[in-house]
Structure formats: structure tokens, C-alpha cells
Structure 1
């Protein structure tokens, strides 16, 4: 009975109660600090927690991208993280990419805080879906909202951070 009680308690703890296994420091195209993303491995996937600033007010696409690079420009991060070759979009029957996350919303001051959960990724090296493959992974925030359809339509990349192990 104590085990059940402990498991129920752990399930209700906020993401901050677990060790943060990886981080991505976000930067703007001009190199400015735009916040931080923390990633926490759980038994069922990865919790992604965003604390960003300097964004335009409104919705923005928020994704894990396939390459751990932000320079010479944010296109260096490649496409969405997609180790299984799925199509894009949470509304697409053939989607979504493993790195697709819900849109975030920046307030009038340009700040955004959000948590997302990715079932099909891992922070463990050498396992299927690891974000720490040979070329790493990055977090990208886009200028507009993702459509959640087959075509993302989220526009320019306005923030990028390379995911690094803690």
C-alpha cells in the first residue's frame, strides 16, 4: 500500500521536482538571450519546460529540431526531430513528428512559460528516440503558430537553443 501511495504522490509532483537532465539556452538571431528550456527524463518520455522572453505577443510554433546547431543561422537545426519518418502535424492521421509540441503563447511583454510532454523521445544515449544522437538536437521557436496540419506553416525561426546534457 505504501508503494501505491508513493507512486501517486510522484505522479502529482511538478516537473521541477525531478532532476533536470538537459537544457537549451535560447538565443535570438542577433545572439540575445531569449530564455531557457529544461528537459527532464521520466519513465514514459520527456517533460519539456519553457521560460522564454523577447518574443512577439501571440502564438508561436515550438519544436525539437533534428540537429544540435544554431549557427551560422537557425536553419542549421534542420527539420523537426523525426526519427521514425512520421508526417507532420498533431491533426494529421499520419503524424506527428516526435519533436512536435503544442504552440506556446507570448504575453504582451514577450514572455512565455509552458510545459509539454514528448512520449517518443529520450535523453538516454544509445536508445531509440534519443535527442543525443551523433548530431544532437535543438529547440526552435517560430514566428507564427504551427497549424498542427501536414504543413506546419509556423514561419521564420526566432529563437534557437542547442540541447545539452546537464
Structure 2
């Protein structure tokens, strides 16, 4: 089963859901809603440090479970989870496939209020990589289909022609059957 659609960019640009989510809009942390605010803040902070969180786009009600690289490697120029960019906020980037399209979530959340702003962007680099995988899958499928058709053709060609008269009389092709040969003795 392919992971992506054949023309990801066209789907991203034409699909109504992607158009809404590609605009910068309000987001909220949705984890542990039944808990007190202090516990939710702690769980959100810990989840971000572990590399995951749950958010919702408020306007559309779209919920996403984001997974990202939470390592605080100082040599990475493009952090996926950045607590240092602005005091009191965490900036998150997460890459995933949604409805057959490679996308990147980019946004920030306030560490106290647990809300912020974010959007989805088309991920050109990953889309090209997934398109290559899709083409290879299709090529392998077509190769297996050709091999199957060739083996079916070879089997059909290797069989002797069926004697239509024998088929009409109920005698298997290739001559007289075992039962018929017993009566001729």
C-alpha cells in the first residue's frame, strides 16, 4: 500500500483541509484535559522533552499527535523542539504524512497557557523522497505482474491443444481416459 498520493503538491494546494491548516492559526495542547492546569503544564513540558505532544487546531477542530526529535543537540541548527528561542514558549516542528501528503507542522505554544499558533507546510524534500519510493513500488509491482503474465503465457503455450471433440464427449484431452481404456480390452 503506497504511503503517499502520486501528486502530493497538487493535493496539498487543492484540498480544503490542507488549505485551512496551512494558514497560521490558533492551536492548543489537548493532552490530559481532565487534569488540573499545573499537571497539564508539567505533562506538556515533559512530553515535549520526550519528543511528542498532542495539539488541536482550534478553528477546524483537527487534532494531531506530533512526534519530533527532542534531543537538545547544540550542533543542530534547525531544532524540532526549541525551548530556548523565546522565554515561556516552546517552538515545535514535526514531519509526517497526512492523507497521503508529506507535511511539516510548524508552531509554538505558551508553556503556561498551553496555547499558541501553528500551521502545516508542504514538505518538498520528504515528498520527493516518498515519490521515489512510490515509483519504485509501482515498478516492482509492474515487474511482478509482467512475470506472472509471462509465466501464465508460458504455461498456456506448453499445454497441448485441447481436442474440442473430446471435451464435447467428456473425455479429457490427451486421448482416452483410464476408464475408457478398461472397456477396450
Query: TM-score range, shorter-chain basis?
Result: under 0.3
Structure ID, larger Rg: 2
TM-score (norm 1): 0.23
Which of the pair is proportionally richer in strand?
Answer: 1
User: Could you say which structure has the higher helix fraction?
Assistant: 2
Taking CA–CA contacts closer than 8 Å with sequence separation of 6 or more, which of the two structures ends up with the larger relative contact order?
1
